[in-house]
Amino acid sequence: MYFKLSNTATKEILEKFTKATFKYPNLYTPQQVINGLHEVSVPIVTMQEKDKISLSIWGLLPTKYSEDWSVFQCICNTLNLHENTLDSNLWFAQPLKERRGLLPVTGFFTSFLKNGKSFPYHISLKSGKPFYLASIYNTLEDGFITCALLVGKSTGYIRQYQNTVDSMPIIIGEEDVESWLAYQTPFEQVKSILKRTPICDFKATPIAKELFNNDISYDSMLLSYEYPYF
């Protein structure tokens, strides 16, 4: 279950990376930790507006849903959806064909269980630059965008720092960005993109578990923390 992301990039860095401009630039703030268990917004580039960076509520809602976000998340947690469930007749399968998005982030988190203790890691590029995570989205009748992160099977590198689940966010390489956001891309090609593993020069940074587990965030949150007993 992935419910925390990191986005420490400035507005200018994200705009340069995505080659798009923020639709509401004053509403974006870099964050050490984005906790999806609360109602939060994340930057997203959508098929509908590829030249804009919009803000989306993290946690997909049906297009005609009229109750509170928190109510729906208690019924059906849609912070992330596994790619294997998207080729079905379930309500959230249709957005994969018509409403695909990209979430520019600077990191996500994993956990490793050893000797009865869990150890959190921050996964980021060694360069510190942003990268894209695959998502799907719906636009509600009031105009708000809601989205879900797409996850798939863990790759070899991530498995070294995660053994609590066998899944990870799906990363979209820059070579697939145009096809992912194009309406004319055949559905079989879309599913093929989800199965690819882009070459990413990742690093895994152990972080202080007390800060992560207690839902506290400091400026030094993502600094390396050495565990003497690991």
Given its phi and psi angles, is residue 115 left (phi above 0), alpha (psi -120 to 50 degrees) or beta?
left
175 in a structural domain: yes
Does residue 13 belong to any structural domain of this protein?
yes
Is residue 39 assigned to a domain?
A: yes
Q: Is residue 43 part of a domain?
A: yes
| DSSP assignment letter at 125 | E
CA distance 144 to 123: 29
With respect to residue 219, please indicate whether it lies within any of the assigned structural domains: no
Q: Are 121 and 109 in contact (CB under 8 A)?
A: yes
Residue 200 maps to a domain: yes
The count of structural domains within the chain is 1
Which CATH number characterizes residue 139's domain? 3.90.1680.10
Q: What HEC string does 60-83 produce?
A: CCCCCCCCCHHHHHHHCCCCEEEH
- Unique residue bearing structure tokens 């995505």: 18
Give the pLDDT of the chain (230 residues) as one tens digit per residue.
Answer: 589 999 999 999 999 999 999 999 999 999 999 999 999 999 999 999 999 999 999 999 999 898 899 999 999 999 999 998 888 888 998 999 999 999 999 999 999 998 888 899 999 999 999 999 999 999 998 899 999 999 999 988 899 999 999 999 999 999 999 999 999 999 999 999 999 988 899 999 999 887 666 666 677 789 898 887 65
Tell whether 162 is covered by a domain: yes
Domain for residue 230, yes or no? no
Residue 208 to residues 30, 51, 191, 213, 230: CA-CA distances in angstroms? 20, 38, 37, 9, 13
Domain range enclosing 145: 4-213
